[in-house]
Amino acid sequence: MSADDFRLGAVIITMGNRPAELNALIDSVLHQEGPAVELAVVGNGAPLPPLPEGVRRVELPENLGIPGGRNVGIELFGEDGQEVDAVLFLDDDGLLPGKDSARLLREAFTADPALGIVSFRIADPDTGVTQRRHVPRLRASDPLRSSRVTTFLGGASAVRSKVFTQAGQLPGEFFYAHEETDLAWRALDAGWSIDYRADVVLHHPTTSPARHASYFHNVARNRVWLARRNLPGLLVPLYLGTWLLLTLARRPSGDALKAWVGGFRAGWREPCGPRRPMRWRTVWRLTRLGRPPII
Protein backbone atom coordinates (compact mmCIF):
# COMPACT_ATOMS: atom_id res chain seq x y z
CA MET A 1 0.00 0.00 0.00
CA SER A 2 1.29 3.48 -0.88
CA ALA A 3 1.13 6.29 1.66
CA ASP A 4 -1.63 8.04 -0.31
CA ASP A 5 -3.74 4.86 -0.24
CA PHE A 6 -3.54 4.63 3.56
CA ARG A 7 -6.87 5.92 4.90
CA LEU A 8 -7.01 8.03 8.04
CA GLY A 9 -9.98 8.85 10.24
CA ALA A 10 -10.05 11.20 13.23
CA VAL A 11 -12.23 10.91 16.34
CA ILE A 12 -12.96 13.99 18.44
CA ILE A 13 -15.06 13.75 21.59
CA THR A 14 -16.53 16.89 23.09
CA MET A 15 -18.82 17.97 25.91
CA GLY A 16 -19.96 20.96 23.90
CA ASN A 17 -18.20 23.56 26.05
CA ARG A 18 -15.45 24.52 23.60
CA PRO A 19 -17.20 25.34 20.31
CA ALA A 20 -14.55 27.78 19.07
CA GLU A 21 -11.68 25.40 19.83
CA LEU A 22 -13.59 22.48 18.30
CA ASN A 23 -14.18 24.37 15.06
CA ALA A 24 -10.52 25.38 14.88
CA LEU A 25 -9.42 21.76 15.38
CA ILE A 26 -11.81 20.48 12.72
CA ASP A 27 -10.52 23.12 10.33
CA SER A 28 -6.91 22.05 10.98
CA VAL A 29 -7.82 18.43 10.23
CA LEU A 30 -9.72 19.26 7.05
CA HIS A 31 -6.79 21.28 5.70
CA GLN A 32 -4.20 18.52 6.00
CA GLU A 33 -2.11 17.77 2.91
CA GLY A 34 -2.99 14.78 0.76
CA PRO A 35 -6.13 12.64 0.82
CA ALA A 36 -8.89 13.88 3.10
CA VAL A 37 -8.98 12.68 6.71
CA GLU A 38 -12.41 11.31 7.59
CA LEU A 39 -13.87 13.01 10.67
CA ALA A 40 -16.14 11.68 13.43
CA VAL A 41 -17.30 13.92 16.28
CA VAL A 42 -18.94 12.48 19.40
CA GLY A 43 -21.05 14.63 21.72
CA ASN A 44 -20.24 12.91 25.01
CA GLY A 45 -23.47 13.52 26.87
CA ALA A 46 -23.86 16.91 25.20
CA PRO A 47 -25.41 18.36 22.01
CA LEU A 48 -23.11 19.14 19.14
CA PRO A 49 -22.79 22.53 17.41
CA PRO A 50 -23.21 22.79 13.63
CA LEU A 51 -20.45 20.82 11.89
CA PRO A 52 -19.07 20.91 8.34
CA GLU A 53 -20.79 18.77 5.76
CA GLY A 54 -19.51 15.21 5.61
CA VAL A 55 -18.44 15.02 9.27
CA ARG A 56 -19.86 11.92 10.96
CA ARG A 57 -21.54 12.75 14.23
CA VAL A 58 -23.39 11.25 17.17
CA GLU A 59 -24.82 12.77 20.35
CA LEU A 60 -24.71 10.40 23.31
CA PRO A 61 -27.45 10.72 25.97
CA GLU A 62 -24.85 10.40 28.75
CA ASN A 63 -21.14 10.98 29.24
CA LEU A 64 -19.39 7.64 28.68
CA GLY A 65 -16.00 8.98 29.68
CA ILE A 66 -12.99 9.44 27.43
CA PRO A 67 -12.40 5.80 26.37
CA GLY A 68 -16.11 5.08 26.03
CA GLY A 69 -16.67 8.13 23.86
CA ARG A 70 -13.69 7.31 21.67
CA ASN A 71 -14.89 3.75 21.21
CA VAL A 72 -18.19 5.11 19.89
CA GLY A 73 -16.21 7.27 17.48
CA ILE A 74 -14.26 4.25 16.24
CA GLU A 75 -17.52 2.50 15.49
CA LEU A 76 -18.67 5.44 13.33
CA PHE A 77 -16.04 4.26 10.85
CA GLY A 78 -17.55 0.79 10.72
CA GLU A 79 -16.94 -2.30 12.81
CA ASP A 80 -13.52 -1.99 14.49
CA GLY A 81 -12.74 1.02 12.30
CA GLN A 82 -12.19 -1.06 9.18
CA GLU A 83 -13.39 1.70 6.83
CA VAL A 84 -10.13 3.47 7.67
CA ASP A 85 -6.63 2.09 8.15
CA ALA A 86 -5.84 4.16 11.26
CA VAL A 87 -7.79 6.35 13.67
CA LEU A 88 -6.51 9.61 15.15
CA PHE A 89 -7.67 10.61 18.64
CA LEU A 90 -7.60 14.39 19.12
CA ASP A 91 -8.54 16.47 22.18
CA ASP A 92 -11.24 18.99 21.31
CA ASP A 93 -9.12 21.91 22.60
CA GLY A 94 -6.13 20.85 20.52
CA LEU A 95 -4.99 21.96 17.08
CA LEU A 96 -2.79 20.49 14.36
CA PRO A 97 -0.47 23.43 13.55
CA GLY A 98 1.25 21.69 10.65
CA LYS A 99 -0.48 20.69 7.45
CA ASP A 100 1.87 17.72 7.04
CA SER A 101 0.77 15.72 10.11
CA ALA A 102 -1.49 13.36 8.16
CA ARG A 103 1.20 12.82 5.52
CA LEU A 104 3.81 12.00 8.18
CA LEU A 105 1.44 9.50 9.78
CA ARG A 106 0.61 7.82 6.47
CA GLU A 107 4.31 7.51 5.67
CA ALA A 108 5.11 6.14 9.14
CA PHE A 109 2.42 3.45 9.05
CA THR A 110 3.15 2.32 5.51
CA ALA A 111 6.92 2.25 6.05
CA ASP A 112 6.60 -0.03 9.10
CA PRO A 113 3.86 -2.69 8.94
CA ALA A 114 4.48 -3.55 12.62
CA LEU A 115 3.85 0.02 13.79
CA GLY A 116 0.55 -0.03 15.66
CA ILE A 117 0.37 3.32 17.48
CA VAL A 118 1.91 6.77 17.06
CA SER A 119 1.98 9.24 19.93
CA PHE A 120 2.29 12.92 18.94
CA ARG A 121 4.28 15.64 20.66
CA ILE A 122 1.99 18.01 22.60
CA ALA A 123 3.22 21.62 22.69
CA ASP A 124 1.78 24.73 24.30
CA PRO A 125 0.60 27.03 21.47
CA ASP A 126 2.04 30.16 23.12
CA THR A 127 5.37 28.93 24.48
CA GLY A 128 6.05 25.84 22.39
CA VAL A 129 6.93 24.00 25.62
CA THR A 130 6.19 20.29 25.95
CA GLN A 131 5.49 19.17 29.52
CA ARG A 132 7.51 16.18 30.77
CA ARG A 133 4.29 14.26 31.45
CA HIS A 134 3.47 14.51 27.74
CA VAL A 135 6.59 12.58 26.73
CA PRO A 136 5.57 8.92 27.11
CA ARG A 137 8.89 7.54 28.40
CA LEU A 138 10.95 7.72 31.58
CA ARG A 139 13.78 9.72 29.93
CA ALA A 140 11.61 12.73 29.11
CA SER A 141 14.15 15.57 29.27
CA ASP A 142 14.34 15.93 25.47
CA PRO A 143 10.82 16.10 24.00
CA LEU A 144 12.26 16.70 20.52
CA ARG A 145 13.73 13.19 20.39
CA SER A 146 11.52 10.59 18.74
CA SER A 147 11.74 7.01 20.01
CA ARG A 148 10.04 3.68 20.53
CA VAL A 149 7.87 3.84 23.65
CA THR A 150 5.57 1.67 25.74
CA THR A 151 2.49 3.90 26.00
CA PHE A 152 0.94 6.89 24.24
CA LEU A 153 -0.98 10.13 24.72
CA GLY A 154 -4.68 9.51 24.28
CA GLY A 155 -5.72 12.90 22.91
CA ALA A 156 -2.80 13.18 20.49
CA SER A 157 -2.34 9.83 18.85
CA ALA A 158 -3.08 7.56 15.91
CA VAL A 159 -3.90 3.85 16.20
CA ARG A 160 -3.85 1.38 13.34
CA SER A 161 -7.30 -0.18 12.93
CA LYS A 162 -5.86 -3.70 13.02
CA VAL A 163 -4.76 -3.03 16.60
CA PHE A 164 -8.41 -2.76 17.64
CA THR A 165 -9.17 -6.01 15.83
CA GLN A 166 -6.38 -7.91 17.59
CA ALA A 167 -6.09 -6.19 20.97
CA GLY A 168 -9.57 -4.74 21.46
CA GLN A 169 -10.73 -1.18 21.92
CA LEU A 170 -10.10 1.18 24.81
CA PRO A 171 -11.35 -0.01 28.24
CA GLY A 172 -14.61 1.91 28.61
CA GLU A 173 -14.93 1.09 32.32
CA PHE A 174 -11.84 3.22 33.08
CA PHE A 175 -13.83 6.40 32.20
CA TYR A 176 -10.67 8.51 32.53
CA ALA A 177 -6.97 7.79 33.31
CA HIS A 178 -4.60 5.02 32.14
CA GLU A 179 -6.88 3.77 29.37
CA GLU A 180 -4.05 4.41 26.88
CA THR A 181 -1.58 2.24 28.80
CA ASP A 182 -4.13 -0.57 29.00
CA LEU A 183 -4.49 -0.56 25.21
CA ALA A 184 -0.74 -0.06 24.72
CA TRP A 185 0.15 -3.12 26.80
CA ARG A 186 -2.36 -5.25 24.93
CA ALA A 187 -1.06 -3.97 21.59
CA LEU A 188 2.54 -4.69 22.56
CA ASP A 189 1.54 -8.17 23.71
CA ALA A 190 -0.04 -8.72 20.28
CA GLY A 191 3.27 -7.84 18.62
CA TRP A 192 2.70 -4.19 17.65
CA SER A 193 5.17 -1.33 18.18
CA ILE A 194 4.50 2.18 19.50
CA ASP A 195 6.40 5.29 18.39
CA TYR A 196 6.63 8.74 19.93
CA ARG A 197 7.01 11.15 17.01
CA ALA A 198 8.30 14.59 17.94
CA ASP A 199 7.67 15.87 14.41
CA VAL A 200 3.90 15.24 14.59
CA VAL A 201 2.69 18.07 16.81
CA LEU A 202 -0.60 18.88 18.50
CA HIS A 203 -0.95 22.33 20.03
CA HIS A 204 -2.70 22.13 23.39
CA PRO A 205 -2.86 24.66 26.24
CA THR A 206 -0.75 23.77 29.26
CA THR A 207 -3.04 22.25 31.88
CA SER A 208 -2.87 20.10 35.00
CA PRO A 209 -4.47 16.64 34.94
CA ALA A 210 -5.68 17.33 38.48
CA ARG A 211 -8.21 19.79 37.03
CA HIS A 212 -10.57 16.82 36.71
CA ALA A 213 -12.55 16.36 39.94
CA SER A 214 -12.15 12.57 39.84
CA TYR A 215 -8.44 12.63 38.94
CA PHE A 216 -6.89 11.19 42.12
CA HIS A 217 -9.63 8.59 42.58
CA ASN A 218 -9.50 7.38 38.98
CA VAL A 219 -5.71 7.35 38.81
CA ALA A 220 -5.52 5.03 41.82
CA ARG A 221 -8.47 2.82 40.87
CA ASN A 222 -7.38 2.43 37.27
CA ARG A 223 -3.78 1.56 38.19
CA VAL A 224 -5.15 -1.36 40.20
CA TRP A 225 -7.38 -2.33 37.28
CA LEU A 226 -4.45 -2.01 34.87
CA ALA A 227 -2.42 -4.45 36.96
CA ARG A 228 -5.31 -6.84 37.57
CA ARG A 229 -6.18 -6.97 33.88
CA ASN A 230 -2.75 -7.14 32.28
CA LEU A 231 0.14 -8.15 34.54
CA PRO A 232 1.38 -11.63 35.48
CA GLY A 233 0.46 -12.35 39.08
CA LEU A 234 4.03 -11.99 40.37
CA LEU A 235 4.26 -8.41 39.08
CA VAL A 236 0.96 -7.09 40.43
CA PRO A 237 2.23 -6.31 43.97
CA LEU A 238 5.52 -4.94 42.61
CA TYR A 239 3.78 -2.57 40.23
CA LEU A 240 1.22 -1.34 42.74
CA GLY A 241 3.78 -1.12 45.54
CA THR A 242 6.03 1.06 43.39
CA TRP A 243 3.19 3.45 42.63
CA LEU A 244 2.10 3.56 46.27
CA LEU A 245 5.62 4.67 47.27
CA LEU A 246 5.80 7.21 44.43
CA THR A 247 2.44 8.68 45.40
CA LEU A 248 3.51 9.10 49.02
CA ALA A 249 6.84 10.60 47.95
CA ARG A 250 4.98 13.30 46.01
CA ARG A 251 3.29 14.36 49.27
CA PRO A 252 -0.25 14.94 48.01
CA SER A 253 -2.64 17.10 50.02
CA GLY A 254 -4.90 15.47 52.58
CA ASP A 255 -7.94 15.59 50.32
CA ALA A 256 -5.98 14.25 47.35
CA LEU A 257 -4.55 11.38 49.39
CA LYS A 258 -8.00 10.53 50.73
CA ALA A 259 -9.38 10.39 47.18
CA TRP A 260 -6.39 8.29 46.09
CA VAL A 261 -6.87 5.77 48.90
CA GLY A 262 -10.57 5.53 48.08
CA GLY A 263 -9.75 4.86 44.45
CA PHE A 264 -7.11 2.25 45.38
CA ARG A 265 -9.68 0.38 47.45
CA ALA A 266 -12.27 0.63 44.69
CA GLY A 267 -9.76 -0.90 42.29
CA TRP A 268 -9.81 -4.11 44.32
CA ARG A 269 -13.53 -4.14 45.10
CA GLU A 270 -15.01 -3.26 41.72
CA PRO A 271 -14.96 -5.42 38.57
CA CYS A 272 -12.27 -4.38 36.09
CA GLY A 273 -13.19 -6.40 33.01
CA PRO A 274 -11.52 -9.53 31.64
CA ARG A 275 -8.05 -10.53 32.85
CA ARG A 276 -5.56 -11.32 30.07
CA PRO A 277 -2.06 -11.25 31.59
CA MET A 278 0.69 -10.36 29.15
CA ARG A 279 3.30 -12.94 28.22
CA TRP A 280 6.68 -12.86 29.92
CA ARG A 281 8.34 -12.07 26.61
CA THR A 282 6.22 -8.91 26.54
CA VAL A 283 7.49 -8.08 30.04
CA TRP A 284 11.03 -8.47 28.70
CA ARG A 285 10.19 -6.35 25.67
CA LEU A 286 8.89 -3.55 27.91
CA THR A 287 12.05 -3.83 29.99
CA ARG A 288 14.29 -3.56 26.92
CA LEU A 289 12.35 -0.48 25.86
CA GLY A 290 13.29 1.13 29.19
CA ARG A 291 10.06 0.73 31.14
CA PRO A 292 9.59 -2.62 32.86
CA PRO A 293 5.96 -3.01 33.96
CA ILE A 294 6.70 -2.36 37.63
CA ILE A 295 7.21 1.39 37.00
Question: Considering the chain, what is the average pLDDT of its residues?
Answer: 94
95 neighbors 24 (Cβ within 8 angstroms): yes
pLDDT at residue 295, as a whole number: 84
pLDDT at residue 251, as a whole number: 87
> For residue 44, which of 159, 149, 175 has the smallest C-alpha distance?
175
pLDDT > 70: percent of the chain:
97
Read off φ and ψ for residue 178, nearest 5 degrees: 70, 5
pLDDT at residue 212, as a whole number: 53
pLDDT at residue 80, as a whole number: 53
Rounded Cα–Cα distance for residues 89 and 181 (Å): 15
Give mean pLDDT, residues 37-45. 97
Return the HEC string of 167-225: HCCCCHHHCCCCHHHHHHHHHHHCCCEEEEEEEEEEECCCCCHHHCCCHHHHHHHHHHH
Strands 156-160, 115-123: pairing kind: antiparallel
Give me the amino acid identity at 3.
Answer: A
pLDDT in tens, 93-139: 999 999 999 999 999 999 999 999 999 999 999 999 999 999 999 88
pLDDT in tens, 208-232: 665 555 889 999 999 999 999 999 9
Number of neighbours of residue 274 by Cβ within 10 angstroms: 8
- CA angle, corner 207, sides to 259 and 20, nearest 5? 120
User: Would you state the CATH architecture of domain 3-207?
Assistant: Alpha-Beta Complex (3.90)
- Banded pLDDT at 44 (limits 50, 70, 90): very high
Lowest-pLDDT choice from 7-16, 227-236, 245-254, 261-270: 245-254
Q: Which three-class secondary structure state does DSSP give residue 143? A: coil
pLDDT in tens, 135-155: 999 889 999 999 999 999 999
Taking the CA atoms of 12, 16, 18 and 24 in sequence, report the sign of the dihedral they define: positive
- Cα maximum dimension of the chain: 55
Lowest-pLDDT choice from 70-74, 212-216, 269-273, 276-280: 212-216
206 neighbors 127 (Cβ within 8 angstroms): yes
Give the list of residues 6+ apart from residue 29 with CB closer than 8 angstroms, or none.
10, 37, 39, 88, 90, 96, 102
pLDDT at residue 101, as a whole number: 98
- Asked if residue 6 has pLDDT above 80, the reply is yes
Strands 8-14, 38-43: pairing kind: parallel
Q: Where in the chain is the domain with CATH 3.90.550.10?
A: 3-207
- Banded pLDDT at 87 (limits 50, 70, 90): very high
Give mean pLDDT, residues 167-173. 97
pLDDT at residue 64, as a whole number: 97
